[in-house]
Amino acid sequence: MMTPEDIALSLPIWRGTPRLSVLSGGITNVNFRVTDDSGDYVVRIGDDIPVHHISRAGELAASIAAHAAGISPPVIHHGSRALVIGFVQGRTMTPADFQHGALRHQAVDLIARAHRMMPEHLRGAAQVFWVFHVLRDYAARLVAESHPRVAQLPALMDQARDLERAARPIDMVFGHNDLLAGNFIHDGARLWLIDWDYAGWGSPLFDLGGFAANMGLTPPQETQMLEQYFGTIPADLPRRYAAMKAAAALREALWAMVSQHHSTLDFDYAAYASTCLDTFAAAYSQFQRTP
């Protein structure tokens, strides 16, 4: 069986002898930087991951649309479990970076442009991402597999039901749905948004809430973010937003729990789940205080 390295180096697109190095940070696939006589590229090696609702066909369609909308680098090649995209020479962001107003403004602008422009370029069957379905599916799997944290699930799912009721009504956009700091790259002039594994139709509040939770934004920073995205903030938006922010944090925690049993990548999913549950507890408390 070919290794991910073998697959990356054997692709028919290379000019001259390709040179490969491992890129850190991938937790649903294996990523390489490959350099050949024509330039530098990122090669992502991965299969469909049904337990996480990941379709590589959906990722490809979203990646193509994201480039057409000016959000992501171009798709160079796909096939043989591989997706090859242009390499962005720049710095991968951290949560601390988005404490700076200018960078946060750039990120929110990029998110808004993705939501509003990508549908114009999206072709073929499109994924749907409804976080509360994902949470129910994850919880059922964790029960079936006797996860060590299974005793916590009934209370967590009761909270999820409260959040789902509060999150309605929903405006539909085509979202990224995985706004971790590591999926933003700054090339010195602008931000790029990469890694469209979870992309699909859903609520804009999931992306905004996920961004805020993952970057540790303060309440005033969240208000600035919402004002930038929406302009005038409707009276019912703060509570709907708080619900989606908490749901985004809970999804990240349950994702980590499921990954403990199903991922072969070298990553401490148990520790990550603990961190995400703390984030969820804080976000749920914020939701309860939001009128």
| Residue 68: band (very low, low, confident or very high) from pLDDT cuts 50, 70, 90 | very high
Looking at the DSSP bridge assignments, the partners of residue 36 are 39
* Per-residue confidence band for 101, with pLDDT thresholds at 50, 70 and 90: very high
Same fold, 4-86 and 91-289: no
Is the domain spanning 91-289 CATH 3.90.1200.10? The answer is yes
The CATH code of domain 4-86 reads 3.30.200.20
Mean pLDDT over residues 228-255, rounded?
Answer: 96
pLDDT value, residue 60: 97
Is the pLDDT confidence value at 72 over 90?
A: yes
Domain ranges of the chain: 4-86, 91-289
With cut-offs at 50, 70 and 90, classify the pLDDT of residue 26.
low
Q: What is the average pLDDT across 241-253? A: 97
What is the pTM for the complete model shown?
0.94
Confidence band, pLDDT 50/70/90 cuts, at residue 267: confident
